[in-house]
Amino acid sequence: MPSASNWPPWDGLLAVLPTKSATLSVPLATQLSYWQEQDEKSSSKRLSEIIIKHTQRLNQVIENVSQLSRRKAPDAQSLHLERWLNSFIEDYKNSCPDKCTIEVEVDNSATIIVFDTSQLHQVLTNLIENAHRHSLDYCSQAWAKCVCHIDPRTQRPCLDLYDRGEGISADLAGQVFEPFYTTSHTGSGLGLYLARELCEINFATLDYRVAENNKSGFFRIGFAHPEQAQQRLHND
């Protein structure tokens, strides 16, 4: 894999994305229109629905990255975490062509978070896709588990994402969020980096927690206190 030093500076790459996203949005919109028309003519409704959803998702990813480059404030809003998560999982499974499992555990069903919905969708999609890929490689099952709880130390809402892969060692845990770092032959090395950046502009954190046995762990999104997040967004 090429080292990050062989790539253009990340700030410079982000600077050109507004132009690139505008260029890409046109063919994406054309594809979306095409597949909607095909849906009316073809019996392959399931396939066309998946393609339409992925086209919409890619368009939103481009917009979110472009928003990062412009340092634009997120369109954050108060979300009922359990309700939003259940809706997200239903949407994710409907757009997934293969069988997958996503388990959910919620300690406090009344938990409220503040986040931009499209950006949270992108962050969690990336984490779950990674979890499914690593679980599939290690135990032949696309499996992920989301655990929502309140951190007893910080009192912040958290979402922990588990998989059944072999885990990330403590030595590598700090590198997975670096741009262009990847262990996959097909990965871009930008997914986790962008996920953390999107969390940060929503006053949240994203990190990887290594388990004591150093063979398994989980990703944690630490959301800001709802009142503090709203106040900071108002001040910005």
Q: Do 108 and 38 lie in a common domain?
A: no
Q: Where in the sequence is the domain holding 92, given as residue range(s)?
A: 76-235
Q: Do 113 and 229 lie in a common domain?
A: yes
What is the average pLDDT score of the chain?
77
Each residue's pLDDT tens digit, 5-37: 333 344 444 444 444 444 444 444 555 555 456
How far separated are the first and last CA of the chain, in Å rounded?
39
CATH number at residue 217: 3.30.565.10
Considering the entire predicted model, what is its pTM? Answer: 0.72
Q: Do 101 and 148 lie in a common domain?
A: yes
Q: Do 41 and 92 lie in a common domain?
A: no
Q: How many domains in the chain?
A: 2
Q: Do 107 and 39 lie in a common domain?
A: no
User: In the numeric block, which tokens belong to residue 219?
Assistant: 């990703």
Each residue's pLDDT tens digit, 132-182: 999 998 899 999 999 999 999 999 999 999 999 988 887 788 788 888 777
Cα gap 23→20, rounded to integer Å: 5
Q: Do 117 and 176 lie in a common domain?
A: yes
Q: Do 20 and 117 lie in a common domain?
A: no
Task: Work out the pLDDT band at 1, boundaries 50, 70, 90.
Answer: very low
Angle at which helix 45-69 crosses helix 10-41, to 10 degrees, equals 160
Q: Do 58 and 97 lie in a common domain?
A: no
